[in-house]
Amino acid sequence: MPNNIENSLLKIGELPQLKIISTENLIFHEEPDDDRLLRLVSRLGGDGVLKNPPIVATFDNNGKYAIIDGANRVTALMKLGYKDLAVQIVNLHDPLLALYCWHHAVDRLGRDFFMGHISSMEKVSIRELEEDQKPLPGYLMHLIFRERKPIAIYKEGDIVSQVQTMNYIADLYIHQPIFDRVSYINLENLRKHYPNFETLITFREFTKDDFMRIIASGVKLPAGITRVFLPKRALGLNVPLEIMKSELTLSDKNRWLDQYILHMVKNKTIRFYREPTFVFDE
C-alpha cells in the first residue's frame, strides 16, 4: 500500500479510542491461557495499574464488545473482582486491521503422540507431507515435528465443528506448561530457544467473517491462537486499578479517563511508534 494512502487511512493524528466499560458487555472468543492467567492475576494485583488495555471490537447494536486481544488480562481482572475495565475500542472492519494466528511450540510431545490421538477422530483426515511441503488449501492444522515429518489435518464440516476439533487437539497439551505461542516457524531457532521442543502447530487463518461467526456461535477458540495486527495500539496507559474498582459511575470514570489522557497530551508523554515491537514483560 502506498505510504500516502496508508497514512490517510491510519489517521496518525488521532489517538486510539479508549473507554471504561462494564465486563457484562464483553464477549470472549477464545479460552484463557491458564499459565499466563495465573501470572497476570499475581502481577496485576501487585502492580495496581492496568498497563495495556485489552482490545475490543463492536459486535452488535446492543452495546456488546468482542475481545480480540487481551482475554487473559480481562479474565485476570474479573477474577480480582473488577466489573469495569479500561479498553481500546477498534473497528473490526478497519482495512488496516488484520487477523492472523499464533503458532504453538510444544515440548516433549511428538509425532507418535499426536498421530495416536488424531488418527482415531471421526471425520478428520491426516495427510503426510514431504519436508518443507506446504499443506493444500482448506487444512485445519499443520503439525511440523522435530524430525521433520510434517502432517496436515483436515476436518469436514462448518466453522463451528472445525473449532471444536481444534479445541480437542489443543486440549492434549494446552493446559500444561509445555507450550508457548510463537510467531516464527524456523525449526533451528525453535530447537535453540526450546531445548525440549518436539512439535510446531500452525493453524488455518480465519477471515473477519469467520471470526464473527465464531463469536455468534458461542464456541471459543483454544487459548493463544488469535493474533491481531492493529493500525494503532495503546500501550503503557497505566490506568490505576482503584479507579476502575471505585464506586464512581461509568460516566464519571470515563470523564476521569478523558482528563487523564488530556493531561498526558498536555505533558507530551504520548508517542506513536510504527516499527514492529517486542514486549519483554508480558
Q: Tell me the per-residue pLDDT of 232-254, one tens digit each, with 9 for 90 and over.
A: 899 999 999 999 999 999 999 99
Written as nine digits, the cell of 276 is 514492529
Would you state the pLDDT for residue 70?
Answer: 92
The pLDDT confidence band at residue 208, using thresholds 50, 70 and 90, is very high
Please tell me whether residues 87 and 129 are part of one structural domain. no
Domain-located, residue 217: no
The Cα 271–Cα 58 span in angstroms is: 26
Please tell me whether residues 17 and 77 are part of one structural domain. yes
CB 219 within 8 A of CB 160: yes
Please tell me whether residues 14 and 85 are part of one structural domain. yes
Please tell me whether residues 235 and 173 are part of one structural domain. no
DSSP class of 220: -
β-pair type (226-229, 151-155)? unpaired
Would you state the pLDDT for residue 9?
Answer: 55
Please tell me whether residues 26 and 84 are part of one structural domain. yes
pTM score, whole prediction: 0.86
pLDDT mean over 219-242:
92
pLDDT at 6 over 70: no
Please tell me whether residues 106 and 197 are part of one structural domain. yes
CB 90 within 8 A of CB 230: yes
pLDDT at 275 over 70: no
Spatial CA neighbour of 220 closest among 156, 180, 167: 167
The pLDDT confidence band at residue 1, using thresholds 50, 70 and 90, is very low
Domain-located, residue 29: yes
Please tell me whether residues 86 and 180 are part of one structural domain. no
Please tell me whether residues 12 and 63 are part of one structural domain. yes
Residues β-bridged to residue 18: 88
The domain that holds 243 is classified in CATH as: 3.90.1530.10
Written as nine digits, the cell of 253 is 470514570
Spatial CA neighbour of 105 closest among 221, 203, 211: 203
Please tell me whether residues 111 and 198 are part of one structural domain. yes
Q: First vs last Cα of the chain: how many Å apart?
A: 31
The Cα 148–Cα 143 span in angstroms is: 10
Per-residue pLDDT tens over the stretch 107-133: 999 999 999 999 999 899 999 999 888
Domain-located, residue 262: yes
**Sequence-separated contacts (24+) of 274-282 with Cβ below 8 Å:** 277/235, 279/235, 282/36
Would you state the pLDDT for residue 59?
Answer: 76
The domain that holds 201 is classified in CATH as: 3.30.1760.10
The Cα 83–Cα 105 span in angstroms is: 34
Q: Which domain holds residue 169?
A: 102-205
Domain-located, residue 90: yes
Please tell me whether residues 188 and 242 are part of one structural domain. no
Would you state the pLDDT for residue 5?
Answer: 44
Mean pLDDT of the chain: 88
Domains of the chain: total: 2
Please tell me whether residues 68 and 148 are part of one structural domain. no
Domain-located, residue 77: yes
Find the helix or strand (DSSP H, E) in which 35 lies: helix 34-47
